[in-house]
Homo-oligomer: A and B are copies of this chain.
Amino acid sequence: MNEKFESFLKHQKRLAAYNAAFALLGWDEETLAPSGATEKTAELEGVLSGEVYTLQTDPEYKALVKELMKDPALSEDERELIRKTEKEIRLTDAIPKELYEKEAVLTSKSMAAWQEAKKKNEYALFLPLLSEMIELKKEIAKCQNEDGRPLYDVLLDQYEEGFTMERLDAFFGLIRKEIVPLLKLAKNGNKRIRTDFLGRRFPVSKQKKFNRMIAEYVGLDLNRAVIGESEHPFTTGLHMDDVRITTKYRPEMVADTLFSTIHESGHAIFEQGHDERYAFVPASSISMGLHESQSRMYENMIGRSEAFWTPLYPKLCRAFPAELGDVTLTEWIRAVNRADATLIRTEADELSYCLHIMVRYEVEKKIFNENYPAEDLPKLWAELYREYIGVDVPDDRQGILQDVHYAGGMFGYFPSYAIGNAIAAQLYQAMDREINVEKVLREGRPEKVKAWLHDKVHVYGGLRTVDRILKDATGEPFDPKHYVKYLKQKFKALYKTDAPVK
């Protein structure tokens, strides 16, 4: 291997060592750390962040990356890694130091104000900080804008490279046209779906056993993973051989927990499957949407299918005979796929989820393209929820204050969630052509799914762009039509007849 590229990997490994420490500290804070530890731990994390900043802005390192940009001997994947790194450095360098520092201070203040505002259900408490954050983000995006693009495109690109408003307008245009009416159809059909049993009390100790089994069943390697518990489920990892997911158990939430475990397992299986050669290249370079495509595919397309549950449902009934004795597989499948018009994104079903995202996309476009006044955002939010989802927003806590993202200044992030679903659908259809997914799931062989995804997606980690991965795996670049087609087929079947979803 090229000596300079080796130096580059060595520097990446140093960054990976700090990332591992931060991952463990973060995991520990959510799962175990004592409440009294917060202040001092944060102080020491601040010290370590300073060390990372020094590493990331090291002039020698930056010069090395610049040199490697011109190196003709690199492989395609190596070149891509250098390109991404150089871009990250460029974006960071473009921010004047005073804005950088202002952002850190403002983010911390804004997070506190948002928490307070959400607790008190009072948007006015968050408004001044939100306005300031929007102005700052515009200013930063202006600094980073090298070619006169619209500012919102500058932001979008940082979360999902290559996904401009032009592409997203087409994507959400399709969603608006096809999915908004479909959700109305679902709402009207819900009286035919039985859900009483989902609220029964399933003993937590038995749930834990079953969730562990199902995580391993879908392909999580428990020799290289930990399953913990936390208030909000998440996936993190020290490196590809130590990936961690959390789940939240409640007796009356058996289905939520199961699908949350499968979702996080999807993320974790992706992390475990990276190329060993790049094990210590920080995962930050992985596309958010690609990551989300794996969790959503496992959770929804695989995990909520009748084929998946055909071999598993008898086991679930044996584990919970009192709770599921009177429930058929068909009833189980229909209940866990039921779609509805609801208010909270994180609790949304598969069908309406993209509509929640579309609301946020439209809101952000107005903010950044039209200088929409921040004080009117709750009104806009309510209008869009009524129009797309068909619900009235009763208050800001269940409205614009529900998500943490704006408090953290993460404008442009939400579309990745919808992109992830669409990537999943596109991959799924290609995979299905090759291995007949329904058949292998019915036969209890989910390892076939994992193997396909491993070869086409997981092994590349953050090495390739979404379009490149999709092109190799499915024959075409990103195209949201597959997602819309998938949703239409699935939910029309679910709601048109009483037959279960295939």
A168 contacts across to B, CB distance below 8 A: none
Q: A44-B280, A51-B51 are in contact. Are A224 and B14 (CB under 8 A)?
A: no
Task: Count this chain's copies in the assembly.
Answer: 2
Shortest A353–chain B CB gap in Å is 31
**Bound form: Cα–Cα A43–B25 in Å:** 18
Shortest A323–chain B CB gap in Å is 24
Our pick among B16, B25, B32 for the contact of A21 (Cβ within 8 Å) is: B25
With an 8 A cutoff between CB atoms, is A105 at the interface?
no
Q: Mark A431-475, 1 if CB is under 8 A from B, else 0.
A: 000000000000000000000000000000000000000000000
Our pick among B28, B36, B279 for the contact of A224 (Cβ within 8 Å) is: B36
With an 8 A cutoff between CB atoms, is A322 at the interface?
no
Which of A147-155, A236-244, A394-402 is near enough to bind chain B? A236-244
**Bound form: Cα–Cα A45–B280 in Å:** 12
**Bound form: Cα–Cα A425–B293 in Å:** 63
| Cross-chain contact B239 with A44 (CB below 8 angstroms) | yes
**Bound form: Cα–Cα A32–B244 in Å:** 11
**Bound form: Cα–Cα A239–B280 in Å:** 28
Q: Which size bracket describes the interface of A in this complex? A: 35 or more
**Bound form: Cα–Cα A17–B54 in Å:** 15
A241 contacts across to B, CB distance below 8 A: 34, 36-37, 39-41
A37 contacts across to B, CB distance below 8 A: 224, 238-239, 241-242
A48 contacts across to B, CB distance below 8 A: 17-18, 21
Q: Mark A8-22, 1 if CB is under 8 A from B, else 0.
A: 000001101110110
**Bound form: Cα–Cα A43–B276 in Å:** 14
| Cross-chain contact A33 with B242 (CB below 8 angstroms) | yes
A497 contacts across to B, CB distance below 8 A: none
Nearest-CB residue, chain B, relative to A48: B17
| Cross-chain contact A41 with B238 (CB below 8 angstroms) | yes
Segment 277-292 of A: residues with Cβ below 8 Å from B: 279-280
A224 contacts across to B, CB distance below 8 A: 34, 36-37
Interface of A is mostly: helix
Nearest-CB residue, chain B, relative to A28: B24
**Bound form: Cα–Cα A25–B19 in Å:** 13
| Cross-chain contact B34 with A17 (CB below 8 angstroms) | no
With an 8 A cutoff between CB atoms, is A221 at the interface?
yes
A239 contacts across to B, CB distance below 8 A: 37, 40-41, 44
**Bound form: Cα–Cα A224–B38 in Å:** 9
| Cross-chain contact A242 with B34 (CB below 8 angstroms) | yes
**Bound form: Cα–Cα A223–B33 in Å:** 9
Nearest-CB residue, chain B, relative to A276: B40
Shortest A21–chain B CB gap in Å is 4
| Cross-chain contact A34 with B279 (CB below 8 angstroms) | no
**Bound form: Cα–Cα A400–B34 in Å:** 40
Shortest A275–chain B CB gap in Å is 14
Our pick among B17, B36, B43, B222 for the contact of A47 (Cβ within 8 Å) is: B17
A21 contacts across to B, CB distance below 8 A: 21, 24-25, 48
Shortest A128–chain B CB gap in Å is 33
| Cross-chain contact B24 with A44 (CB below 8 angstroms) | no
Nearest-CB residue, chain B, relative to A35: B223
A-B contact pairs, 16 of them (CB 8 A): A13-B44, A17-B45, A20-B41, A21-B24, A21-B25, A28-B28, A34-B225, A35-B223, A36-B241, A37-B238, A37-B239, A37-B241, A40-B239, A40-B240, A40-B280, A41-B238
A residues in contact (CB < 8 Å) with B: 13-14, 16-18, 20-21, 24-25, 28, 32-37, 39-41, 43-45, 47-48, 51, 221-226, 238-242, 279-280
Q: Which 6 A-B pairs have the closest CB atoms?
A: A37-B242, A17-B47, A36-B224, A36-B223, A21-B21, A17-B44
Known: A37-B238, A43-B280. 8 other contacts (CB 8 A): A13-B43, A14-B51, A18-B48, A20-B44, A35-B223, A40-B242, A41-B238, A41-B241
